[in-house]
Structure 1
Amino acid sequence: MSFSPQSRVWIYQSNRKFTSAEETEILKKLESFTNQWKAHGNELLAKAEIRYGFFIILTVDETQANVTGCSIDSSVRLIKEIEQEYNIDLFNRFNIAYKVNDDVIVNSKEDFETLVNIKQVTPDTIVFNNMVQTLADLNTKWEVPFQNSWHSTVFAHLL
Structure 2
Amino acid sequence: MYVEFQQLPAHARVWIYQANRAFNEQESAFVQSYLKQAVQDWNAHGVPLAGSFQIRYNQIIVIAVDEHHHAASGCSIDASTGWFKDLAFQMGMDFFDRSVALVQEDNLILFPLLGVKQVINEGHINADSLIAIPQVKDLADYRSNWPAKAKDSWLKKYFVAASV
User: Taking structure 1 as the reference length, what is the TM-score of the superposition?
Assistant: 0.90
Which residue number corresponds to residue 72 of structure 1? 77
Which residue number corresponds to residue 151 of structure 1? 155
Which residue number corresponds to residue 91 of structure 2? 86
C-alpha distance in 1 between matches for 2:50 and 2:67: 7
Structure 1: give runs of 5+ residues left out of the alignment: none
How much does 1:27 deviate? Answer: 0.8
Q: Does 1:9 align with 2:9?
A: no
CA spacing shift, 1:56–1:101, aligned 2, 3 Å: closer
Assess if the C-alpha contact under 8 Å between 1:14 and 1:90 holds in 2: yes
CA spacing shift, 1:116–1:70, aligned 2, 3 Å: same
Which residue number corresponds to residue 47 of structure 2? 42
Q: Does 1:23 align with 2:21?
A: no
CA spacing shift, 1:102–1:158, aligned 2, 3 Å: farther
**Identity score, percent:** 29
How much does 1:40 deviate? Answer: 1.1
CA spacing shift, 1:7–1:87, aligned 2, 3 Å: same
The one of 135, 141, 144 aligned to 1:137: 141
How much does 1:157 deviate? Answer: 7.5
How much does 1:148 deviate? Answer: 1.2
Which residue number corresponds to residue 113 of structure 1? 117
Which residue number corresponds to residue 37 of structure 2? 32
Aligned residues: 157
How much does 1:133 deviate? Answer: 3.4
Assess if the C-alpha contact under 8 Å between 2:16 and 2:134 holds in 1: yes
How much does 1:111 deviate? Answer: 4.5
> 1:91-140 deviations in whole A, cap 9, x for unaligned?
132x1101234432122124543321111211111111111131001112
List, as ranges, runs of 4+ consecutive aligned residues in structure 1 with deviation greater than 2 Å.
Answer: 100-103, 110-115, 155-159
Letter in 2 for 1:52: Y
- Which structure's residues are more often strand, by fraction? 1
> 1:30-85 deviations in whole A, cap 9, x for unaligned?
00000111111111101122111010111100111110001001111111011111
CA spacing shift, 1:102–1:50, aligned 2, 3 Å: closer
How much does 1:15 deviate? Answer: 1.0
C-alpha distance in 1 between matches for 2:47 and 2:107: 39
Assess if the C-alpha contact under 8 Å between 1:117 and 1:158 holds in 2: no
C-alpha distance in 2 between matches for 1:80 and 1:8: 20
